[in-house]
Structure 1
């Protein structure tokens, strides 16, 4: 949020040492710690490609590059035309999420390329934990037809975490072998896989004006795909969408989004990677985001349906009893009427009541009410004038180039009006929470709305243990965690310990807890609900974690640690070594109750850094702790 240091060495220089190996054929860019490198090369046939090495071991095989602009494949029949220009980046800034302080340190190369008479630059940035590539658009470019960029997974690739196709990223996630991923069908990112002792996760960053990037598998290749723009799109600015502060440029050049590959040697570094945010612009000069405050949020649509005006005080009072910061007035308020008062007057009343009990308000809206710039600004100003602190915008159209620019303009409006922003029915994030910290969470996830009796929806156990390596690799998600209602936990017997762990494992700086408030207020975990943070000072992925099987996170806020463990569909035993503690401490341990999935075995004891907890987990079981 607050920028603490900004040292970007933007001046270019010609490099004549060993990093540039034969300037006309290949260029090697190393990370600041020299442990990771990207090699850009041109094949004898003229195909531009890249590969990635970790400690000199190839973890991504030579993979094709190329943007298709005005029907010309810029990666085909290409040549590197001049010596490469380099810059280094080193800055720090603060954020809210897995940890508070971010180091943005990388080496970047501008590689001049020509293909079929079109000149452009391939920009490559290499971090200690990943590689990113983007293209400048040739002068006079008018149309994006598609993209040839791909990720060539090595033959020894292990598990792959991926998601099915969904307009709003609400399909199931899976962890399979590579050859179990459907071929020639769109799948959604991020996609995470194991290879050569490393974890790699591929996605995109800083998507401002391009259509959303997805993937298609062809053999060992994961190829770029634009499911919402099969025939491409025209390159043009759209001022009718409002203030386009972010307009698809970098260093005064029109560019594609970054094509990203996180590369780490352990899961803790994988989950803590800030690569996508680091690739996005800092907030504009003069923008103040000190007002952005994370917290817990109560909402009612999932548990009881549309909010009733005469019931709203009960929900605000419950949020206050839980010591939670926010309440969401969800879909249904626009139908309120009472005597001579319309929905806006009644909404103003409930927001005002929330303030009297110390609870802030977030208001739901259908995006169709605010697609045009002027109408959107007027609507948001009206919501702000009523005293609301945030907006939840739902039912957003396909993520075309036009709509991605609408996202940018909407974010700018909310930043200027100091409204927290939660996109629902939306596209995945691409790191732009760095630019707009009030874009604090968004859906684009198959969350607990897909486990509810009134729609006969049942979520498989495996979903919860895949998501940390698919959707959550793109950033915070509004999963709406923690179902406690026993009626909702009969068809699939998720345990209360598993459900509570969702709020620890799944990052959302404003966390909307899904269930009816009575289940929290009457819970044997009430004190934990009143204390649980939504942002963290430190995050560890514990060694028992295995993608698609079981996940275990330890997160610290201040001097307290919280542990969340969620099991998939197979019974197992896991061990939790408490060696991350600095000293002995009092602990609240939440085990599954062997007699019922809707009760807990709560234990209070003192634990030390030498202790190892042994936990038996049933399918859908879990464990939680406050230390």
Structure 2
């Protein structure tokens, strides 16, 4: 036998052996780069994943599958044709984020299966994620997707339950809810929860359920699975017909839905399903998993996209005083807002509902000269962002975006989406792209949680999907507990426009809902700390400019806090109890600490500071802040790297500081 024939025979033997081993291999293990997390994938009769952390079982075997309309189930009786492991160590350059650079280190397992589909698994040091991929011709109709998260016990969890059914229809809501702090088995029957949610798995460990890179696909809800120790996915069916209705007739609500959840390209990657794992609650304050899993930016030139603070007219009902004109939705009022913004270094103003015909963005309220307002803003270096509701944007963006971009408008605040079916999700990407093509920024309100769109289209500068400060206008709720829960849960998904900055601060006993010039629970220092703790590249100053002028000392501190940062350092915290973190911008550091209704003493470790001496400007709760929430104390002192500083937080209180290196 010739050498060539021997070589060919050897190759065939190796190839056949490899193929047989691939077909026989039905169990796969993958560890995180630090070796602490182990992912186990079973490809027997069903595809299942399970996860352990330092020997503690986090997820027990949990099924994953894609069910197609033709009856086939991707993940049932899987036949793995080949597998591949990759080790990635990269860095992501972030845009308008809580840090400038994101270390992106993970191990990846790719399973390709017979039937032109595959699953990609990733294991990070603090998270595990997977997604389906398909390579099929033509269009796919997805009947359902099965994503399950099975835990070992009836753990306690923080779960946002859907409650405000817009137009009385399921799968239509504002995606705003306080957390049900319950055991898994207490999940309300026939209810849905939206993501993110948190599960306390014991041994001080917390697990947060997330999804990422949600493009052209419905968002994931969950309800209780059959074991009552975990969750199974639920999705809004594909909308076939819709009509205006719901809140103020501003929702576009599906009235007829298909018996499938999505119709999409046959060759594509599906959204990531992820869990983040922390050994200390504070670690969740600095987790980047959604940002890492999102598709990279599709905008080449991002120089025109600038994070910043903005005034907001709606929360205080445009109530201003000590002026010689009638305040309202008119030119004089918004010039006043611009003058205030310019004097205080605020980059934007928002003109909320009422500046245009709600159904026709090209018909402007005659009491308001938008071009004059925009031009006044240009002279003062203040950008103007205008409000619109989603349905009108979908009908008119091709005309409205170039028209208002030419006028000089900087962006749109788009509201009342209140859906996350496939059509709504795709629409947000389409709007972001069309806005980017016209160099317009977008602030989404009345919207589901972010899933990475803000990385893919960085002109998406704001995202609600949180039960924000606006609720004080009509509701008496335990927001001080909520505001020290969302940094560990909702904020894991990405930026959240909570709309901080209320200066009429009261304790629980003195609170009552007021529509004009609302009150806010908690202390003044708590509100200032929110500007550091909450991630919001488009950060609202919710209160009236007149109120801020009367409280110039606090206003000066608040408006010097950046809206995006170079670095984030978690300092201390416990979900639902308190949170403390530091953020850096340039050579300056900003520290914020917040508590629920429990007064507490903390010790902050300033070893995150580079070696040297610093001047620190502190706003802390005043001695009577428990009785009068506006009571605060300003101090200017010195601090050095490595110093430990005791601080006191009043009930509903806060502590905020700006730290500058001394010359």
Pick the TM interval, shorter chain: 0.7 to 0.9
Distance in 2 between the 1:186 and 1:534 partners? 33
In structure 1, the residue matched to 2:147 is: 149
Asked if 1:512 is matched to 2:535, the reply is: no
In structure 1, the residue matched to 2:286 is: 272
Residue 154 of structure 2 contacts residue 183 of structure 2 at CA under 8 Å; is this kept in 1?
Answer: no
In structure 2, the residue matched to 1:531 is: 560
The change in CA–CA distance for 1:391 and 1:459 in structure 2 (over 3 A counts) is farther
Residue 40 of structure 1 contacts residue 48 of structure 1 at CA under 8 Å; is this kept in 2?
Answer: yes
Structure 1 residue 432, shift from structure 2 partner: 2.1
Structure 1 residue 310, shift from structure 2 partner: 2.5
In structure 2, the residue matched to 1:4 is: none
Structure 1 residue 319, shift from structure 2 partner: 0.5
Distance in 2 between the 1:625 and 1:303 partners? 26
1:576-587 equivalent positions in 2, closer than 5 A: 576-581=604-609, 582-587=611-616
Residue 187 of structure 2 contacts residue 224 of structure 2 at CA under 8 Å; is this kept in 1?
Answer: yes
> Could you say what secondary structure the match of 1:473 adopts?
helix
Distance in 2 between the 1:364 and 1:36 partners? 45
Structure 1: gaps (5+ residues): 1-13, 238-247
Structure 1 residue 488, shift from structure 2 partner: 10
The change in CA–CA distance for 1:232 and 1:383 in structure 2 (over 3 A counts) is farther
Structure 1 residue 398, shift from structure 2 partner: 1.7
> Could you say what secondary structure the match of 2:39 adopts?
strand
1:187 to 184, 187, 193: 193
The change in CA–CA distance for 1:522 and 1:32 in structure 2 (over 3 A counts) is same
- Deviation string 1:190-242 (CA, Å, 9 cap, x unpaired) is 112333454322111111111111111231111111146586536446xxxxx
In structure 2, the residue matched to 1:442 is: 463
Residue 205 of structure 1 contacts residue 258 of structure 1 at CA under 8 Å; is this kept in 2?
Answer: yes
Residue 66 of structure 2 contacts residue 75 of structure 2 at CA under 8 Å; is this kept in 1?
Answer: no
Distance in 1 between the 2:291 and 2:367 partners? 37
In structure 2, the residue matched to 1:297 is: 310
**265-274 or 434-443, larger mean C-alpha shift:** 265-274
1:552-567 equivalent positions in 2, closer than 5 A: 552-567=580-595
In structure 2, the residue matched to 1:426 is: 447
Distance in 2 between the 1:90 and 1:325 partners? 37
The change in CA–CA distance for 1:175 and 1:535 in structure 2 (over 3 A counts) is farther
- For normalisation by structure 1, the TM-score amounts to 0.86
> Could you say what secondary structure the match of 1:542 adopts?
strand
Residue 281 of structure 2 contacts residue 574 of structure 2 at CA under 8 Å; is this kept in 1?
Answer: no
In structure 1, the residue matched to 2:167 is: none
Distance in 2 between the 1:264 and 1:387 partners? 45
In structure 1, the residue matched to 2:430 is: 409
2:214 to 199, 207, 212: 207
> Could you say what secondary structure the match of 2:305 adopts?
coil
The change in CA–CA distance for 1:332 and 1:259 in structure 2 (over 3 A counts) is same
**190-199 or 47-56, larger mean C-alpha shift:** 190-199
Residue 154 of structure 2 contacts residue 185 of structure 2 at CA under 8 Å; is this kept in 1?
Answer: no
In structure 2, the residue matched to 1:618 is: 650
The change in CA–CA distance for 1:482 and 1:518 in structure 2 (over 3 A counts) is same
1:132-171 equivalent positions in 2, closer than 5 A: 132-137=129-134, 139=136, 142-155=140-153, 157=155, 159-165=156-162, 167-171=173-177
> Could you say what secondary structure the match of 2:341 adopts?
helix
Residue 65 of structure 2 contacts residue 73 of structure 2 at CA under 8 Å; is this kept in 1?
Answer: yes
Distance in 2 between the 1:589 and 1:394 partners? 36
Distance in 2 between the 1:495 and 1:369 partners? 39
In structure 2, the residue matched to 1:240 is: none
In structure 2, the residue matched to 1:608 is: 640
- Deviation string 1:289-310 (CA, Å, 9 cap, x unpaired) is 1221111111111112563332
Structure 1 residue 404, shift from structure 2 partner: 1.2
1:109-128 equivalent positions in 2, closer than 5 A: 109-113=109-113, 119-128=116-125
- For normalisation by structure 2, the TM-score amounts to 0.81
Structure 1 residue 366, shift from structure 2 partner: 1.4
The change in CA–CA distance for 1:76 and 1:288 in structure 2 (over 3 A counts) is closer
Distance in 2 between the 1:449 and 1:180 partners? 29
Structure 1 residue 343, shift from structure 2 partner: 4.9
**340-349 or 409-418, larger mean C-alpha shift:** 340-349
> Could you say what secondary structure the match of 1:508 adopts?
coil
Asked if 1:323 is matched to 2:330, the reply is: no
In structure 1, the residue matched to 2:229 is: 220
Report how many residues are paired. Answer: 583
Residue 174 of structure 1 contacts residue 463 of structure 1 at CA under 8 Å; is this kept in 2?
Answer: no
In structure 2, the residue matched to 1:254 is: 268
Structure 1 residue 322, shift from structure 2 partner: 1.2
2:504 to 473, 485, 488: 485
In structure 2, the residue matched to 1:6 is: none
Structure 1 residue 160, shift from structure 2 partner: 2.6
The change in CA–CA distance for 1:180 and 1:547 in structure 2 (over 3 A counts) is farther
Residue 294 of structure 1 contacts residue 534 of structure 1 at CA under 8 Å; is this kept in 2?
Answer: yes
Structure 1 residue 174, shift from structure 2 partner: 4.4
Structure 1 residue 552, shift from structure 2 partner: 1.4
Residue 173 of structure 1 contacts residue 470 of structure 1 at CA under 8 Å; is this kept in 2?
Answer: no
Residue 105 of structure 1 contacts residue 127 of structure 1 at CA under 8 Å; is this kept in 2?
Answer: yes
The change in CA–CA distance for 1:341 and 1:538 in structure 2 (over 3 A counts) is closer
1:350 to 370, 373, 376: 373
Structure 1 residue 499, shift from structure 2 partner: 1.1
Residue 307 of structure 1 contacts residue 332 of structure 1 at CA under 8 Å; is this kept in 2?
Answer: yes
> Could you say what secondary structure the match of 2:437 adopts?
helix
2:332 to 290, 310, 315: 310
In structure 1, the residue matched to 2:254 is: none
> Could you say what secondary structure the match of 1:527 adopts?
helix
The change in CA–CA distance for 1:224 and 1:386 in structure 2 (over 3 A counts) is same
Structure 1 residue 123, shift from structure 2 partner: 1.8
Distance in 1 between the 2:649 and 2:186 partners? 27
Distance in 1 between the 2:50 and 2:211 partners? 17
